[in-house]
Structure 1
Amino acid sequence: MNIGPHFLRNNVFVAPMAGVTDRPFRQLCKQLGAGYAVSEMAASDPRLWASEKTARRINHDGEMEPKAVQIAGADPAMLADCARFNVERGAQIIDINMGCPVKKVCQSWCGSALLQNETLVAQILEAVVGAVDVPVTLKFRTGWDRQHKNALTIARMAEASGIAMLTLHGRTRADGYGGEAEYDTIAAVKAAVGIPVVANGDITTSEKARFVLDYTRADAVMIGRAAQGRPWIFREIDHFLRTGEHLPAPTVKEVRALMQEHLPAHYAFYGEYMGLRTARKHIGWYVRDLPGGEDFRQRMNRLESCEEQLQAVDAFFESQLLHGKRLQYGLHADQPRLAA
């Protein structure tokens, strides 16, 4: 599929997640089969553009194309300026955030809180689309609560304003990340518009991705939390969608090599002090459900240098070879077994 002039190699995408989908992680996901990835959301307030946090979020140096930046805010003129600012710095696609349910964001009337003001939504869409000559996409939710679902209205407004693609999370703002995502609204939006629609929410397995695509007729799926610590999920889902067959779990040797790539890139991106600390959550996700993973996570969190952390991770994955050449998820630490 395409977003404007950009051809995407498949229809399995990485969801933008604050504090997770930084440049090193996005790059790794793309290398492991993701057809498309969007940055963490960047604030539209120009007073924040020079901050270290925002500078990192819009840093795409050396990243595989297309380079997409998600912007967040509630002022149409500021969002338009923010879009121009990012395009001038290499963004090839601008994504507007109207999906974040986090209280801090919604209290500023940003993210999914915008869905309560359809007039303002229309003004934002028109301002941003008119400000740049690159494709503009929209990520949003089904409504602000279950009694006020307006995804169809928003989708039609978006198409009319020139939005190039829609990503719809099958929850309302009030749902947060609780309960189960619903896909009827995504199916209705897909049937109502002529632009690509991406389904998002609770897509955790290859079978679930196939079901959601068939049920909604969406053009693509977007994977969020299921990719944390498991960036190879994109190639697994892509392979299953193309062949109907499952790929085997990655080998211990492969994941060990991935960690030797991911962690140094993470340290270089954040610096020694912050890199050590922000890497802990990624490492925790990688080792969860592996034999001895929880004990290792607790010990690893006490290490105080990047070198020690990297060496400890390498040794942990070396130890996984005791359980077989492939990762053994769900195998309890006191039940070792050899596996192919």
Structure 2
Amino acid sequence: MQIGHHRIDPPVILAPMAGVTDKPFRQLCKRLGAGLAVSEMTISDPRFWNTEKSLRRMDHLGEPDPISVQIAGTVPEVLADAARYNVDHGAQIIDINMGCPAKKVCNAWAGSALMRDEALVARILSAVARAVDVPVTLKIRTGWNADNKNAPTIARIAQDAGIAALAVHGRTRDQQYAGAAEYDTIAAIKAMLDIPVFANGDIDSPQKAAQVLRHTGCDAVMVGRAAQGRPWIFREISHFLGTGELLPEPSLTEVRDVLLGHLEHLHAFYGEPAGVRIARKHLGWYAKDRPENAAFRAVVNRAETATAQMALTREYFDALIAGEPLSLAA
């Protein structure tokens, strides 16, 4: 699959998720098989570009190509400037956020709220596509609510505006993440467009990825929440799509080593205490299906230093690997 001149192989994409798809997580998912990893959204307002948070979100040094950066906002000219700024700072693909359902984003008339104003959508997409010489992609939902499922109309506007690829989450904004994603709308969109379309929503296994691709005819699947604590899902999906065979689950030793490497990168990227704090949610995701998860989290979440967090994590997994009774002390 191509986005502009970028070949996306395998066609399995890490979805942009605020507070999750930071540089350490993107690099990890790419290493474990994601063909593309989209950044968490960056604000388009230039007044905030030099904040510590924005500078980290715009840090792509050493990140494997292609580098896709999501921008969020509501004013066409401001979003165009943000696209130019991010391209100047390493972005090779610009993604526009019209899919975020968060109240604070929608209240600012950004994210999926933009789908309520098709004329504004057209102005934004045209302005950004004209502003940069890299591919521009778009992420949307099926609509604002069940009575306003206008994703096909937005999709046509996007293609006409020069958008290079479209990701569609199979839920309305009102659904947030509740209920089951529906793929009929995504299939209808794919059938009417010439540009690549990515199916997103509830893709949590290799079998589900293959099923969704068959049902929708899409060019790629986009994985979000299912990658939290399971970054190896990308290689599992890729292998299954290519061979029809399931890979074995990663060993406890590999899970330990992947997690410790992830923690180390988080600590180095954010420093202390921010890296320790941010790592806690990832620790919970990695351990959610493991024995003694509650006890592990109760202890490891009290670690205040990177050294303590690493040691407690290693101790937990080493005990699991050895088959020993878990003894976690505060």
TM-score range, shorter chain: over 0.9
In the alignment, which residue of structure 1 is the partner of 2:199? 199
Superimposed CA distance per residue, residues 250-298 of structure 1 (whole angstroms, 9 cap, x where no aligned partner): 1122122212311111011111110010100001100111111221011
- 5 Å-filtered alignment, 1:86-97, equals 86-97=86-97
Letter of the 2:65 counterpart: E
Q: What is the aligned partner in structure 1 of residue 157 from structure 2?
A: 157
Equivalent residue number for residue 256 of structure 1: 256
Aligned ranges for residues 1-340 of structure 1 at < 5 Å?
Answer: 1-323=1-323
Amino acid at match of 1:293: N
Q: CA deviation at 1:317?
A: 1.0
Shift of 1:323: 4.5
CA distance in 1, matches of 2:36, 2:323: 34
Aligned amino acid, residue 239 of structure 1: H
Q: Hey, what's the Cα distance between the residues in 2 that align with 1:262 and 1:302?
A: 19
Root-mean-square deviation (Å): 1.2
**Which letter maps to 2:80?**
A
CA separation in 2, counterparts of 1:321 and 1:250? 12
Could you report, residue by residue, the CA deviation over 1:156-204 in whole angstroms, capped at 9, with x for unpaired residues? 1100111000000001111111111100000000000000000000111
Structure 2 Cα separation of the partners of residues 142 and 170 of structure 1: 6
Distance 1:261 1:134 in 2: 32
**AA paired with 1:116?**
R
Residues of 1 paired with 2:52 and 2:220: CA distance?
33
- Separation of aligned partners in 2, 1:111 and 1:142: 13
- Match for 2:265: what amino acid? A
**Normalising by the residue count of structure 1, what TM-score does the alignment of the two structures yield?**
0.94
Aligned partner letter, 1:313: T
Partner AA of 1:152 in structure 2: P
CA shift for structure 1 position 322: 3.6
Matched-pair contact (CA < 8 Å) for 2:259–2:286:
no
For 2:194 and 2:304, the matched residues in 1 are separated by 53
TM superposition shift of 1:98: 0.1
Aligned residue type for 2:135: P
Residue 328 of structure 1 aligns with which residue? none
Paired letter, 2:174: A
Which structure 1 segments of 5+ residues have no match?
325-334
Following TM superposition, the consecutive aligned residue runs of length 4 or more in structure 1 with deviations greater than 6 angstroms are: none
Q: Secondary structure at the match of 1:39?
A: coil
User: What is the percentage of aligned positions where both structures have the same residue?
Assistant: 60
1:172 corresponds to which letter in structure 2? T
| AA in 1 matched with 2:190 | K
Return the alpha-carbon distance in structure 2 between the equivalents of residues 144 and 254 of structure 1. Answer: 42
Distance in 2 of aligned mates of 1:298 and 1:288: 13
